[in-house]
Amino acid sequence: VVRSHAVQAKLAALPNVKNIIAVASGKGGVGKSTVAVNLALALRAEGASVGVLDADIYGPSQPRMLGTSEKPTSPDGKSMNPIEALGLQAMSIGFLIDEDQPMVWRGPMATQALMQLLNETHWKALDYLVIDLPPGTGDIQLTLSQRIPVSGAVVVTTPQDIALIDAKKGLQMFRKVEVPILGLIENMSFYCCPNCGHRAEIFGSGGGERMSEQFDVALLGRIPLDARIRAQADGGKPTVAADPESDLAKIYRDIARRA
Ligand code: ADP
């Protein structure tokens, strides 16, 4: 990961964090949060010390995927210690509120809350902080990408046209705010029937490749639609932690190496 001077200047505020990787998507439901946590676990498996910041403030899903509902402790009533789960340091608005409580904040408040989660968490010597951004390219995402010293961004999409159109907006947003783009991840790329082995391209095919060529960004990997990914994430132990030797975990680890 190469850092610009601007990023280095902003990073002074977070002395314990070497690299911040933002995981974004143009559209909701494409698997951004699942990719973010598995990417974090894959970097951890490579020997790095890794944190996850769940910035998906209106739909925090990291507490459930990390299998914890612990409340963060605070040394001084203002700042917080991160939650330790599956070898990761984690912070999420979901640790601070009940799971069924909706966040009814307007953009500026949500942005402020996120900046607090980032800056007032006692991250301990992190090689990587993976940020699970809210879906879309609205005001919150734009402000965050301007204010958080992101070293590089990955954009998650499915091969479906409608998801790709939105993912393009995500790429353009990062270019506009001069955040380096590490690459694209195509999720739910195909489905292999576990019974007969038939391969079906449910959301279409080739979209990630076309987009990578068109925008001159790397396609970091293609992740299949697989019930294990959903079940393991729902069970509080995402694929890379639940079944580290599996074909699926290998895909995430290859993506982490490429990024
Ligand atoms: P987003 O963060 O983009 O809204 P999520 O990561 O929450 O998306 O994923 C949406 C749903 O799809 C979740 O239930 C998740 O477990 C499931 N999912 C994500 N990626 C895959 C995949 N490759 N195969 C099967 N299910 C997946």
In the chain the domains, ranked by start, together with CATH numbers, are: 5-258 (3.40.50.300)
Residues 6+ apart with CB under 8 A from 9: 149
* C-alpha triplet 86, 66, 232: angle, nearest 5°: 100
Which residue CA neighbors atom 19 of ligand 1 most closely?
Answer: 31
Predicted TM-score (pTM) of the model is 0.93
Distance in Å, CA 188 to ligand 1 centroid? 8
Is the model's pLDDT at 8 over the cut of 90? no
Atom of ligand 1 nearest to the CA of 25: 3
Is the model's pLDDT at 1 over the cut of 80? no
Q: State whether the beta carbon of 183 lies less than 6 angstroms from ligand 1.
A: no
- The pLDDT of 85-107, averaged and rounded, is 87
Confidence at residue 140, expressed as pLDDT on a 0 to 100 scale: 81
59 labelled binding-site residue: no
Is the model's pLDDT at 11 over the cut of 70? no
Q: State whether the beta carbon of 28 lies less than 6 angstroms from ligand 1.
A: yes
Distance in Å, CA 29 to ligand 1 centroid? 6
Confidence at residue 85, expressed as pLDDT on a 0 to 100 scale: 98
- In angstroms, the CA 73 to CA 89 distance is 13
Q: How confident is the model at residue 187 (pLDDT cuts 50, 70, 90)?
A: very high
61 labelled binding-site residue: no
- In angstroms, the CA 32 to CA 133 distance is 8
Atom of ligand 1 nearest to the CA of 36: 6
Check if the beta carbon of residue 217 is closer than 8 Å to that of residue 179: no
Q: Which of 44-53, 55-64, 93-102, 248-257 has the lowest mean pLDDT?
A: 93-102
Confidence at residue 145, expressed as pLDDT on a 0 to 100 scale: 85
Q: How confident is the model at residue 9 (pLDDT cuts 50, 70, 90)?
A: very low
Is the model's pLDDT at 7 over the cut of 70? no
Q: Are strands 219-223 and 181-187 parallel, antiparallel or unpaired?
A: parallel
- For the beta carbon of residue 246, count every other beta carbon within 10 angstroms: 15
Is the model's pLDDT at 95 over the cut of 50? yes
> What's the first-to-final CA gap in the chain, in angstroms?
8
Alpha-carbon distance values, 13 to 43, 119, 249 (Å):
23, 8, 34
Q: State whether the beta carbon of 68 lies less than 6 angstroms from ligand 1.
A: no
Confidence at residue 255, expressed as pLDDT on a 0 to 100 scale: 98
28 labelled binding-site residue: yes
Confidence at residue 13, expressed as pLDDT on a 0 to 100 scale: 66
Residue 1 token pair: 């990961």
Confidence at residue 171, expressed as pLDDT on a 0 to 100 scale: 93
With CA atoms as reference, report the closest residue to 177 among 219, 133, 209: 133
Q: State whether the beta carbon of 223 lies less than 6 angstroms from ligand 1.
A: yes
Which residue CA neighbors atom 27 of ligand 1 most closely?
Answer: 230
Residue to substitute in 27, 34, 225, 252 for testing ligand 1 pocket (most ligand atoms within 8 angstroms of CB)? 34
Q: State whether the beta carbon of 187 lies less than 6 angstroms from ligand 1.
A: yes
Which residue CA neighbors atom 23 of ligand 1 most closely?
Answer: 225
Distance in Å, CA 70 to ligand 1 centroid? 23
- The pLDDT of 133-150, averaged and rounded, is 87
